[in-house]
Amino acid sequence: MDNLLELKNVTKIYEGGVLANHNISFSVREGEIHALVGENGAGKSTLMKILYGMESITSGQIFLRGKEVKFSSSKDAIAHGIGMVHQHFMLVDSFTGAENLMLGYSGARFFSNKKADIEETNAVAKKYGFVIDARRRVRDMGVSMKQKLEIMKILYRGSKIIILDEPTAVLTPQETEELFERLIELKKSGMTIIFISHKLNEVKRISDRITVLKSGKTMGTYNTADISEEDISNLMVGRVISFEYDKTPLVSGKELLRTEHLKYKDMFGVIKLNDLSLSLHEKEIVGIAGVEGNGQNELVEIITANLRALSGKVFYKGEDITDKSIGDVRRRGIASIPEDRMFNGCAGNMSISENIIAADISTFEDKNKLLNKNRIKNYSKELIKKFEVKTKDENQMIKSLSGGNIQKAIVAREFSTSSDLLILNQPTRGIDIGSISFIHHKILEMRDAGKGILLVSSDLNELIALADRILVMYKGRIVASMDNKTKVNEQELGLYMLGIKDQGEAV
Amino acid sequence: MNEQKKFDIMNYFSAIRILIAIVISLLLVFVIIFFVSDQPVYAIFKMMVGPLQTKRGLFNVLERATPLIFTALALNVSLRSGVFNIGVDGSFYMGAVIASAFALQVNMPNVIHQIVLITAAGIIGGLINTLPIMIGKYTKIDPTVLAIMFNSIFYFVGLAYVSAFLLQKGGSWGSYYFPDSARLGNLIRGTSMHWGFVIMLFTIVFVIVLMEKSSFGYKVRLTGANPNFAKYVGIKTVLVVIGAQFIGGFIGGMGGAIEMVGMYKRFQWQSQVSYVWDGLLVHMLANENPFFIPITAIFIAYLRVGAEIMSRSARLDPEIVAFLQGIVILLVASERFLYTFKKRHEQKLSLQQAKKAEEKAALEGGNSI
Amino acid sequence: MNYLVSPNFWFSILASTTPVLLATLAANIVSKAGIFNLAIEGTMLICALTGVLVSAFTKSLVLGALAGVFIGIAISYILGYFALIMKGAMNACGVAINLAATGGTVFVLATVTGSKASSSSLVSSTFPNIAVPFIKNIPFAGSILSGHNIITYLAWFFTFLTWFLLYKTKLGQEIRAVGENEETSRSAGINVNLMKFISLAFCGVYSAFGGMYLSMGSLKSFTAGMVAGRGYLSLAMNSISQGNPILGFASSLIYGFAETMTVYLELYSKLNLKLISAFPYIFIIVVLLLVQTIKNNIKKNRKKSLQN
């Protein structure tokens, strides 16, 4: 088979000097489903955005049917028959389904005709066997309908190559199954599909060939039939994916945190927390598992006072802290690491030391409310050393560090306060394996030092390696509570996460 | 660890960037002069060297710099909290009005009189500067727009107050003459250097300490750099922002009062004096660092005085400086100005790092065999 | 308060609405493309002067108007270049243009005419007033709606044009998509910057007519600083109307009303003149607060009904 699409030595350096892709070469054959696998932050999405013309390349070449192409925008990519479904859907929320289908379409009429557009949309849906509501605004659509709309957009534009970026991350098992059937049909009709995922079982099931990416570089392309899941994961992380740590046996102490009957609905009226109660003790790591968007973030935000529950209570060391401010909660001894480090985990344009002191500014104040420069300098130097943050010095701007080092600096800040409870939301997302294992060791150190830890993670291996107890959240409820003394079965966790199994009221 | 620091031009990138922006805009102004003047070289000479030629010219520069320093310091505190609020202009104008009112309508002994009128101007100025933010927060309207509206409102209100209560009948438009007890005495005989100059020096030190050394300044900067993060670590960002607006407005109001009772014998500001734009320029050229504000303020004041000298001797309108202001702000505000230079440097650096990491990995791999 | 029922009063409202309406339309179309253009004020000022100067020297109204429009687009593109291509802070770039406009127009005026205050020494063209056939004969309404400057009617047409463009054409749909979600638009193959520059061109044209209405319509010459904050107010009007030109027209009428009231108050009331000058601004801030309070209430009710 001929190579339909070929990338040669593609390098991408983002503004600020982040190296996302480094000398990547790989090719895609006509009519295959080609999977691109790699950990978060391995450079998959960047690579696909390059293919789709949304990011420019710093160096390298792209060939389509043997001819070199240069995409300066998605328009070029679309014109060459490439379409993409992004991880975060690219739809205009206030527009209807029909309007989104027509948006940017070169054949659309200059003078809008609502009725004709809706008819056209329905016709397209019928042709490919999708069920969507052309009149409904995107903000009122469910995830699955949005995804169908995205795929329809691509088909409508006559694309022959479809890129799907983590399409199953947001789908239920049934929806995933439906998607796979559709993809196989599309393949049969001559489409070429590039499928990005880090779920190896899915990749094994649906793809013909697999290219593995690791920290911005390719680790080779393989026939799916010739390679085992273990081999793929070895290539992805450079060693066996599961983490093994020597853990001291659990001797949990007093109760630190208790939530009672927490309820929350988001601004669209979707139930995010449904009568959620849990408790956490000293010297204990409680893991929260769940498909993203099942209320984990809301739980964390309510405990740390970043969000107010509709009803229910939060107690810390027996004290009701439900209505306390963020600062009050922190001062009482709850430290936390947010999900998105650049959004609210640090101030990118400030120095490392200015970021490191943020969690407890008052300890660096003189009696005149002036900051003690020497104390700050020594403290930052000490933390940089202790947490192995790789940097020129403590005055370097934090955004110029690598993701792993930024995260280590944030961990350093939150782990070095006198807090007794640590709330960690995806503490190792998108960082290199070295930093991950370093942070894991620090988490276990904290546990041994007597702190209680609530660990929310979408990485099941991380949860199984670290947690003493794993709670599974599904649609705002805890559907399972599992003792992790002897390692929990990942498959079983999966069944609870997808809502197939439920321990019911017993939890 | 190797503590020796290598010279790295990137450390001075922002300073070099600002200097190049100034040079480019000066050149453009020169080009304009060449087009419209029949004696361009003489005009440029007068503009650039004029203020140095007389003692009066030099003191003029210092006088001119004083209100600019006050507004720039005020903006330094309020803008660094991350909002583009230029309500300081209203603070400054009303500061002058309040000072005039206290000077003329309240009898007090010397020294106390000045202290009271400057403090009152500061408090009112502070309150005025918080208005655009508070109403902006409520109505979700850009605080810049609201600030400009409020600046007009306070200009008219101030003017109305002076016309209604302080106006001297007959002669040119203006208030009664201030009593001596309200004025700031001269520092140096034969010049208009007044005690306000000393207050200004204290204010400079105060802003440097507040913004760079104090925990409040740190909170302001943190909020400005990333409000989500500031909130996340428990800072009450709304209070910090409003606090910064009040302090900024206080300094602005004080500046207006000092300018009024220091430089003038009576209130005669019939137009919107608008020092805020020059102040903004000074603040931006100082790279948002209060330490450099006096220098950049003197630079802008120098250009202003130079342009006036030029206009007298070469008959070119001094408003030509406006072109320079506009171009400098455009260039300094543009992230991408001289960006390719920085980008190349960053790319080189990150490829070097990647190569180093590879070599290290190769080395470790070799060892393990 | 007899003037409230005189047609003259209502005629003046429409007349003084015109420049703000044009500025609001300018703000509408760029805000739909996701641009916050503080420079409308400065653009109007520069165009007001350009129109006067070019028409005075060419003795041609058409050439003056064309020059004004051309410069209006050019100034908008300068903002676009620095804010979009050079990634400058949008507010700061707007401020820069306004500064250069305020001082620059005085400089040019002084260099050309020798006067820093006004262009009255030049003989410049003006846009004609139009008596609309049939409508002018309707009692009361006729004397309100007919006899306006041609730019006023042009502004009404632009209101419809902008609305039609934004909501009834592919171009408008793409502009709105860019304003709402840039990343999505880029992914749909829309040239984001092209859309922004197209909307900036409209913004330039509208600002130009807004400026020229002041110096070649309601007045016969240019005076320094004659835009007097209308460009800034348009941004507030735009917030009230949320970018919708029809609502933009309605909110501009609020300004027209406030300004006309000011003129009548100055004539007929015994209040301090300077204080009355602040009236439009205070009136608009009060309206803004009211509008927001109503919006908040609606939102609160909606949230309540969703969460229960």
Average pLDDT over residues A381-402: 87
Average pLDDT over residues A229-236: 76
Residues of A with CB under 8 A from a CB of B: 13, 15-19, 22, 58, 216, 306, 325-331, 336, 338, 343-350, 354, 358-359, 361-362, 364-365, 369-371, 373
- Kind and range of the H or E element at A470? strand A469-474
Q: Which of A454, A446, A33, A434 is nearest to A239 (CA)?
A: A434
Whole-angstrom CA distances from B347 to A66, A342, B343 are: 29, 21, 6
DSSP H stretches of helix in chain C: 7-32, 40-58, 61-80, 90-113, 141-145, 150-168, 170-180, 182-187, 192-213, 230-241, 245-268, 273-277, 279-307
Residue A93 is classified by DSSP as: T
Q: Please give the radius of gyration of chain B, using alpha carbons only, rounded to the nearest integer.
A: 24
Computed over every residue of chain A, the mean pLDDT equals 86
- Kind and range of the H or E element at B6? none
Binary contact (C86, B156; C-beta < 8 A): no
Binary contact (A102, C170; C-beta < 8 A): yes
Instruction: Give the whole-angstrom CA distance, residue B226 versus residue A399.
Output: 12
Binary contact (C275, B149; C-beta < 8 A): no
- The predicted model scores a pTM of 0.85
Residues of B in contact with C99 (CB under 8 A): 277, 281, 322, 325-326, 329
ipTM: 0.85
Q: Which of A496, A504, A40 is nearest to A289 (CA)?
A: A496
Q: Where in chain A is the domain with CATH 3.40.50.300?
A: 3-237, 255-333+420-506
Of the ranges A152-166, A455-469, B211-225, which is most confident? B211-225
Q: Is A425 helix (H, G, I), strand (E, B) or coil?
A: strand
Instruction: Give the whole-angstrom CA distance, residue B88 versus residue B249.
Output: 5
Query: pLDDT tier at B217 (50, 70, 90 boundaries)?
Result: very high
Q: Which fold has domain A255-333+420-506?
A: Rossmann fold (3.40.50)
Residue B176 · residue B166 · CB < 8 Å? yes
Instruction: Give the whole-angstrom CA distance, residue A203 versus residue A197.
Output: 7
Q: Which of A26-40, A274-288, C187-201 has the lowest mean pLDDT?
A: A26-40
Binary contact (C306, A112; C-beta < 8 A): no
CB atoms within 10 A of CB A270: 14
Instruction: Give the whole-angstrom CA distance, residue B145 versus residue B85.
Output: 9
Binary contact (B149, C229; C-beta < 8 A): yes
CA angle C267, C271, C272 (to 5 degrees): 100
DSSP H stretches of helix in A189-265: 200-206, 229-237
Q: Does C193 lie at the interface with A, CB-CB under 8 angstroms?
A: no
Query: pLDDT tier at B349 (50, 70, 90 boundaries)?
Result: confident
Q: Is C256 helix (H, G, I), strand (E, B) or coil?
A: helix
Residues of B with CB under 8 A from a CB of A: 209, 213-216, 218-219, 221-222, 225-226, 228-236, 343, 346-347, 349-351, 353-354
Q: Is C3 helix (H, G, I), strand (E, B) or coil?
A: helix
Q: Is C45 helix (H, G, I), strand (E, B) or coil?
A: helix
- Kind and range of the H or E element at A278? strand A271-281
Query: pLDDT tier at B2 (50, 70, 90 boundaries)?
Result: very low
Residue A268 is classified by DSSP as: T
Instruction: Give the whole-angstrom CA distance, residue C180 versus residue C196.
Output: 12
pLDDT digits (tens, 9 = 90+) for B304-318: 888 888 888 877 888
Phi and psi torsions of A280, nearest 5°: -140, 140
**Amino acid letter for position B348:** K
Binary contact (B351, A13; C-beta < 8 A): yes
Distance from CA of B100 to the nearest CA of C (A): 18
Among the partner residues C92, C107, C291, nearest to B319 by beta-carbon distance: C107
Q: What is the percentage of chain A residues whose pLDDT exceeds 70?
A: 95
- Nearest-CA residue of chain A relative to B231? A326
Instruction: Give the whole-angstrom CA distance, residue A443 versus residue A448.
Output: 9
Binary contact (C184, A92; C-beta < 8 A): yes
Query: pLDDT tier at C306 (50, 70, 90 boundaries)?
Result: low
Computed over every residue of chain B, the mean pLDDT equals 85
All chains having 3 or more CB pairs closer than 8 angstroms to chain A: B, C
Q: What is the pLDDT of residue A240?
A: 44
Binary contact (B232, A325; C-beta < 8 A): no
Q: What is the pLDDT of residue A316?
A: 94
DSSP H stretches of helix in A129-159: 143-156
- Nearest-CA residue of chain A relative to B233? A359
Residue B197 is classified by DSSP as: H
Query: pLDDT tier at C150 (50, 70, 90 boundaries)?
Result: very high
Among the partner residues C89, C273, C274, nearest to B333 by beta-carbon distance: C89
Task: Tell me: pLDDT of A278 over 70.
Answer: yes
Instruction: Give the whole-angstrom CA distance, residue B181 versus residue B105.
Output: 12
Q: Which of A490, A424, A416, A427 is nearest to A449 (CA)?
A: A416
Residues of C in contact with B146 (CB under 8 A): 236, 285
Q: Look at the block and give the residue holding tokens 């010297």.
A: A283
Instruction: Give the whole-angstrom CA distance, residue C218 versus residue B36.
Output: 31
Binary contact (B228, A343; C-beta < 8 A): yes
Q: What is the pLDDT of residue A235?
A: 77
Domains of chain C as residue ranges with CATH = 15-122+149-302 (1.10.3470)
Binary contact (C187, A54; C-beta < 8 A): yes
Burial C223-254 (b: 16+ CB within 10 A, else e): bbebbbbbbbbbbbbbbbbebbbebbbebbbb
Binary contact (A73, C191; C-beta < 8 A): yes
Residue A466 · residue A440 · CB < 8 Å? yes
CA angle C22, C27, C32 (to 5 degrees): 130
pLDDT digits (tens, 9 = 90+) for A376-390: 999 999 999 999 888
Binary contact (C285, B138; C-beta < 8 A): no
State the best of C79, C84, C102, C232 to mutate against chain B, taking most chain B CBs within 10 Å. C232
Distance from the first to the final alpha carbon of chain B: 30
State the best of A46, A324, A328, A371 to mutate against chain B, taking most chain B CBs within 10 Å. A371
Q: Determine how β-strand A67-69 pairs with β-strand A59-64.
A: antiparallel
Tokens of B187: 């520092």
Q: Does B75 lie at the interface with C, CB-CB under 8 angstroms?
A: no
Average pLDDT over residues B195-212: 92
Residues of A in contact with C166 (CB under 8 A): none
Tokens of B263: 């430089």
Binary contact (A103, C171; C-beta < 8 A): no
Distance from CA of B3 to the nearest CA of A (A): 9
Q: Does C161 lie at the interface with A, CB-CB under 8 angstroms?
A: no
Among the partner residues A91, A104, A310, nearest to C307 by beta-carbon distance: A310
What are the contacts of A177-183 at 24+ separation with CB within 8 A? A179/A147, A180/A205, A180/A206, A182/A129, A182/A151, A183/A33
Task: Tell me: pLDDT of B197 over 90.
Answer: no
Q: Which of A120-124, A481-485, B133-137 has the lowest mean pLDDT?
A: A481-485
Among the partner residues B228, B236, B350, nearest to A327 by beta-carbon distance: B236
Which of the pair, C246 or B350, is modelled with greater confidence? C246
Residues of B in contact with A15 (CB under 8 A): 343, 346
All chains having 3 or more CB pairs closer than 8 angstroms to chain C: A, B
Residue C247 · residue B118 · CB < 8 Å? no
Q: Which of A175, A153, A206 is nearest to A37 (CA)?
A: A206
Residues of B in contact with C281 (CB under 8 A): 149-150, 152-153, 156
**Amino acid letter for position A451:** K
Residues of A in contact with B228 (CB under 8 A): 343-344
The dihedral of CA A429, A430, A433, A436: what is its sign? Answer: negative
Residue C187 · residue A86 · CB < 8 Å? yes
Query: pLDDT tier at A201 (50, 70, 90 boundaries)?
Result: confident
Roughly what angle, to the nearest 10 degrees, separates helices C279-307 and B112-139?
50
- Nearest-CA residue of chain C relative to A107? C170
Please report the DSSP string for B59-124 in residue order: HHHHHHHHHHHHHHHHHHHHHTTT----THHHHHHHHHHHHHHHHHH----TTHHHHHHHHHHHHH
Q: Please give the radius of gyration of chain A, using alpha carbons only, rounded to the nearest integer.
A: 24
Residue C143 · residue C9 · CB < 8 Å? no
Average pLDDT over residues A289-301: 87
Residues of B in contact with C226 (CB under 8 A): none
Q: Which fold has domain A3-237?
A: Rossmann fold (3.40.50)
Q: Does B134 lie at the interface with C, CB-CB under 8 angstroms?
A: no
- Nearest-CA residue of chain B relative to C85? B336
Beta bridge partners of A29: A3
Q: What is the pLDDT of residue A110?
A: 81
Query: pLDDT tier at B10 (50, 70, 90 boundaries)?
Result: low
Query: pLDDT tier at B1 (50, 70, 90 boundaries)?
Result: very low
